[in-house]
Amino acid sequence: MNSRNKKWLSLALALSLTGSGVALAAGEQNGRITGKLLEAGTQAALPGVTVTLTSPALIGGAKVIATAQDGYFEATSLPPGEYTVEFSMEGVKPIKRKLVVRQGETSPLNISWNVESAIEETIVVEYESPGTRPESTQSGTVLSSNSQAKLASGRSYQTVTQQVAGVSGGANPDVRGGSSIMNRYMVDGLDITDPVTNTFSSNINFDSIGSVAVITGGMEAQYNSMGGVINLISAQGSDEFHIDASVYGNHYLLSAPAQYGSNVYEGYRPFDETVRPPTQGYQGNVNISGPILKEKLWYNLSYQYTNTQASVPSGPPLNAQGPNREFVGHYLRGKLVWAPGTRSRVTLSAMGDPTSIDFADNNGSFANAYTPFASRRQNQGGWLGTLIWEYFPSDATTIKAQVGGQRNTIEAGPQALLGKKAFSSQEGSEYDAERPRHNNADDGSSWYNFTRHSIDDRYTLQTDLSVARRGVLFGQRHEAQVGFQGRLVQRRYWQKLPGDRTYNDRRGGAGEAGLCLDETTGVGCDQYTETPEYRLTERGGGFGVYVQDRWKPTDWLTIMPGLRFDYGTTRDSSRRIVSQLYGFGPRLGAVVDVTRDQKTIFSASYGRSNETLSLLAAANASPGPLSTTYQYSTTKKQFEPLLTSGGPGGTQVDRSNHTSPHSDEILLSLRRQVAKGTGIGVEYTYKVLSNIWDRVETNYIWDPSGTRIVGYRDGVARSVYMITRPEDNWVKYQSVDLVLDGRPTPELEFYAAYTLSFRYGPGSESMGQVGTGISQFFNPRQQQFFTGYAYGDTRHQLKFQGSYTWKGLSIGPGFTFATGTPLAKRYQTANNTTGTILRSPVGTTPGAGNDPLQVAEFRTPDILTVNARVAYDFEELTGQKFTLIADMFNLFNTATPTALLRDDSTILPNNFGQVSARQQPFRLQLGLRYRY
C-alpha cells in the first residue's frame, strides 16, 4: 500500500468509527504543544530531531516524538502543567525550553536552533508564549489553580467563572447570551450538568481543582452547549508526595454591619443597633497527593469542610429575628492516575458532596416572612465517578474512552422535620408534621410548616468515546477527530404536603390572627390547595456523534470544519414520550496567522448547538397529582371546589415537532501579542437562541384585558399546558469583548476585560426557570410585553484580576463592574390563579400609567465590587511553605442594591422599587495555608 492510500485509510478508519459507536470525549482535559524546528541560520526545517517532553504532570515517563520533514512537531494529550521540551540530535548539544500547557489549548513552540554551535551550553529557557491562542477559534480562558491562589474569590468553581469576559449573572452564569440554564458543566470529562435544571450539580473542594476552562464561544464539534462550557479538571498526583492544607475564617466581627435603609437612595443606618445572628463562614481543607508507584500510579485525595452562615436583619412582616441560614458542606474527592505502559493512561476520579442547609431561605427577605416552623431545610449532594482510558497506539493516534455516572439528590422539607428541632418551643407550640402551611397574603407571612417534603433524585450515566488521528493528506496537515457521546438520565421525585394542603389566606389581617383557622368564622379564609402525596419518574437518553477536522493548508491558516448530530428522547412519569429531538450542528472555523509569527491572529467561526436531551420538559410534562383549589364561600361559610390542576390531561406534548432548542453563533476574533506573554484581543459575537423550551397554556379563556380567566376551552376548570419549543421563543445576543490577558513576568499576572453587549428578544423564560416568573405563553393578552431587552442583558462589564508577587508577598486585587440588568414591574390581579400581569415590556415600568411615552427601563443598579488578597509566603523565612492570607471582599463597603422589589403589591403597598437585597458588606477573611 502506498503512503497516499495509507493516509486515506487512516482518515476513513477514523471516520468509520462514528457509525460503529466509538467516539470522543466531551470535555477536553488535555493540552498540546505544536511548533516548528528550524535551523537558525538558514531557516531550513530540521526533520528527525528527537523531541522529549517531561513534566511533573506527565505520568508514565517522558513523551518522545520526532520532528516531521518540515520540522513540524506536535505533542498531544498532554495533561495540563509545566513542561520541559528538549530537542536533541546526535552530535549536537540539546536545547531545552520550558512552557505551560493549559487544558484545551495549544501551546505554540517555534524554535530556531543553531545546530552548529555545538559548544553551546544547554540552557532551559522559559518560552515566551504569544498569548494569542494561535490554533483555536474558541473564546474564553483557563483559570489555573496557581493564578486563583493569588486572588480573593468565592473559592468555588462556580464563582470564579465570573472573572471571564462575556460571563455575567450568578453561580449559574449567563455566558455570551445563553441563559443560566444553557451551560454545560464538566468535571474530569464527565458532564455533571443537572439533567433537569441544566445547572451545576456538584460542589467541589476548591483547592483540589487543577484548572477550570471557561469556554464562552467558538466551540469545536466535541462541545454541544447553547451557553458556555465550564470544564473543570481536578488535581492529580505526581511522583512527589504533597500536602496542601488550609483553613479560612470569616468571623462576623471582621465584617461591616449591614443595617441599611430600604430605598435605593438610603444608606447605612448609624443608629440602628439591631443585634442579629452573624453572617460568617469557615472553611478547612486538606489535599494529599503523591505516588503509589512512581511513574505508574498516582493518587490525590482531598476533603473540604465548609460552614457558611447568613442572616438578614429583622423586619416586616414578622419583625422577629429569623434564625441563621447555615450551610454545611463536606466535599470529598479522590483521583487515581495509572499508566500501565508508555502508551496508555487510566484515570479514575470520584467525588461526593453531602451538604445540609438549615433555614435554607433565610438569607433573604423570606427570613422575615417565614416563621421558623415554616422554614425549609435542604439536604443535598451526591456522588460522581468517572473512569477514563486514553490509549496512544502511535504518535499520530489517540483513542479515548470514558464512562461515568452521577447521582445527585435534593431533599427539601420542613425544618423541624429534617433539621434542628431545638427551636420548636420558640413558637409556643409543638411542631406538628401534619399541620398544613398557611400563607397570609395580607402581610406575606407563612406559618406552621414548610409547603412540602420532597426528595428529588437525579441520575446520569455517560459514555464518551473518541479517536483522533493526525496525518498529512495531499501534503496538508489534518487532525481528524470522531466521537460518540452517550447519556442516560433519570429523575425520581417524591413529594408530600403537610396535611396534604396549603392555605392561602387573605383579608383576615396581618399575622397569625389573620389566618383561616376556623371556617365557621371565615376570618382570613380565601383559598387552599389540596395535593395528595405523589411520585414521579422521568427518563431520557440521547447521543451525539461528531467529526471535527483541524486542517492546515498552510502554516498561517487553520481551517476547522466540523459537524455533529445529536439526538435525545425523554419520557415523563406516565411513560409518555415528551420529546424526540434531533439536530445537526455544523461548525466551521478558520484561524489566520496574520503576521505569520503567531503574534497576530484573526479567527472566525460559525457553530450551531442543539439541546436535544433535557428532563426539564419531561418534569414539566409529568401529569403529577390532581391538585384541587378550594375557594371559601362567605355565604355558605365553607370551602368549595374552584379549579383543578395537574393530573392526567394537565399537560400535552408536541410529539410531531422534532426541532430542538438551538443556538447559532458567529464569532470574530482578533488577537495580538502586545508584550511578553501578553495578548490583547477583541471579539465580536452574534448569537441567536431559538426554540427555547416553554410551556404554552392552551385551556384558559381570558377576558379581553387579560386579567381574569373567564372560561375554559375544554369546559373543565383547569390549566392545560403544551410542553413545546415555540418558534417565537427566541433571544438574540451581540457583544464586543476586549480582553487583555498576560503574564509578562513570573511575578506579574493580570486579566482585564471589557464587554459591551446587548441581549434582547421575547424568550426570557423557560418554563419558569428564569425571567419574570410569567411566561409569555401563559396569557396571550400579555404577549406584546415580552419584547425588548431580555433578562440578563448587561450593557457594560469591566473586569480585572491581577496579582504581583515580591519576595513572598503577593497582592491580588480584582474588581468587577457591571451595569444593571432588566427587571419587570409586575402588577397583582385579584385572582390567585392569574397571579400577576405586566403593563409594559419586560425590563421596563409603565411609569405614570397609560402613556406609552412614560414607559421607562427598569434595571438593577450598576454594581462595582472590589476585592483583594494579600498573602505572605513564609518559605523564605522558615523554609516551610506557610502562607498567611487576608482576603478583603467589597473593599469599599459599597452597599449597592442587587435586587429590587418589582411588584406593585397590596402586601406592604407602595414598596415597589425598594431594595430587597444588597451587596454583602465589607468582610475580611483570614486564611492559613500549608503546602509540602
Partner 1 sequence: MRVQRMVLSLSLALTGLSGCDVYERWDGEDVNAGPVDAQNFPPDYLGAGANRQRAGSGSFTGARAYAQELALGHYLFSFSNSQLTAKAPLTPLTVRTGDKAVSAVPTPSAYVFDPASERPQCKAPEGYEFDAQRDDVPHDDQGIIFTALPATTYTPGVEPTWSYVPVISQVPVESGGQSCQGIKSEKSLVARQDVRVPLTTTASGKQVGTPDGTFRALAIIEPGAAVYRYTSTSTARDPATGVGLQKWGWYNQYLLAYLDGGTIPTQEVTVGGTTQVRMVTQKLYYPRSKVTVSTTQGLKDLNVSVGQGYDVVEAIRGEPGYSPVCEVFTYDAGGPLTADQLPKSAAEVVAKYGATLQKPVKNFGDRSPVGDAYVYCLQVE
Sites of contact with partner 1 (CB under 8 A): 635, 668, 670, 672, 674, 680, 682, 684, 686, 700-708, 710-711, 713, 734-736, 738, 756, 758, 760-762, 780-789, 827-831, 834, 837-841, 846, 849-852, 904-906, 909
Burial bucket for residue 29 (CB in 10 Å: 0-12, 13-18, 19+): buried
Task: With beta carbons less than 8 A apart as the criterion, state whether 802 and 813 touch.
Answer: yes
Of 207 and 904, the one with the shorter C-beta distance to partner 1 is 904
Least distance CB 594 / partner 1 (angstroms): 9
Helix (H) or strand (E) holding 467: strand 453-473
Q: How far apart are CA 353 and CA 409, in angstroms?
A: 10
Q: How far apart are CA 468 and CA 590, in angstroms?
A: 19
Cell of 404: 461515568
Least distance CB 724 / partner 1 (angstroms): 17
Residue spans of alpha helices (H) in 634-775: none
Which position has the grid cell 387552599? 528
Least distance CB 605 / partner 1 (angstroms): 16
Q: How far apart are CA 143 and CA 877, in angstroms?
A: 29
Q: How far apart are CA 710 and CA 768, in angstroms?
A: 24
Of 352 and 524, the one with the shorter C-beta distance to partner 1 is 524
Of 339 and 838, the one with the shorter C-beta distance to partner 1 is 838
Q: How far apart are CA 755 and CA 176, in angstroms?
A: 10
Task: With beta carbons less than 8 A apart as the criterion, state whether 610 and 660 touch.
Answer: yes
Cell of 576: 409518555
Q: How far apart are CA 97 and CA 806, in angstroms?
A: 25
Nearest to 733 by CA among 763, 706, 707, 759: 759
Least distance CB 172 / partner 1 (angstroms): 24
Cell of 572: 415523563
**Region of residue 674 (left: phi > 0; alpha: psi -120 to 50; beta: else):** alpha
Task: List the beta bridge partners of residue 315.
Answer: none
Residue burial 102-117, b: 16+ Cβ < 10 Å; e: rest: bbbbbbbbbbebebee
Indicate the pairing of strand 709-712 with strand 297-310.
unpaired
Sign of CA dihedral 340, 342, 344, 348: positive
Phi/psi for 146 (5° steps) reads -65, -45
Omega cis (within 30) before 846: no
Cell of 200: 451545576
Task: List the beta bridge partners of residue 37.
Answer: 111
Phi/psi for 207 (5° steps) reads -80, -5
Cell of 697: 397554556
Distances (CA, A) of 448 to 357, 399, 525, 783: 19, 59, 16, 38
Of 134 and 542, the one with the shorter C-beta distance to partner 1 is 134
Indicate the pairing of strand 809-818 with strand 863-873.
antiparallel
The letter for the amino acid at 591 is V
Least distance CB 518 / partner 1 (angstroms): 20
Task: With beta carbons less than 8 A apart as the criterion, state whether 549 and 137 touch.
Answer: no
Of 722 and 868, the one with the shorter C-beta distance to partner 1 is 722
Which position has the grid cell 443560566? 180
Of 379 and 787, the one with the shorter C-beta distance to partner 1 is 787
Task: With beta carbons less than 8 A apart as the criterion, state whether 896 and 261 touch.
Answer: no
The letter for the amino acid at 881 is K
Least distance CB 809 / partner 1 (angstroms): 34
Q: How far is CA 259 from the centre of its chain?
A: 32
Of 92 and 738, the one with the shorter C-beta distance to partner 1 is 738
Q: How far apart are CA 35 and CA 113, in angstroms?
A: 13
Of 571 and 672, the one with the shorter C-beta distance to partner 1 is 672
The widest CA-to-CA distance across the chain, in whole angstroms, is 107
Of 430 and 597, the one with the shorter C-beta distance to partner 1 is 597
Q: Specify the 3-state DSSP secondary structure of 348.
A: strand
Nearest to 30 by CA among 84, 143, 106: 106
Of 851 and 876, the one with the shorter C-beta distance to partner 1 is 851
Query: What is the DSSP-derived secondary structure letter of residue 425?
Result: G
Query: Please, what is the Cα angle at 385 between 82 and 380, to 5 degrees?
Result: 115
Distances (CA, A) of 697 to 620, 642, 707, 726: 12, 18, 15, 12
Q: Give 849's contacts (C-beta < 8 A, 6+ positions apart).
A: 839
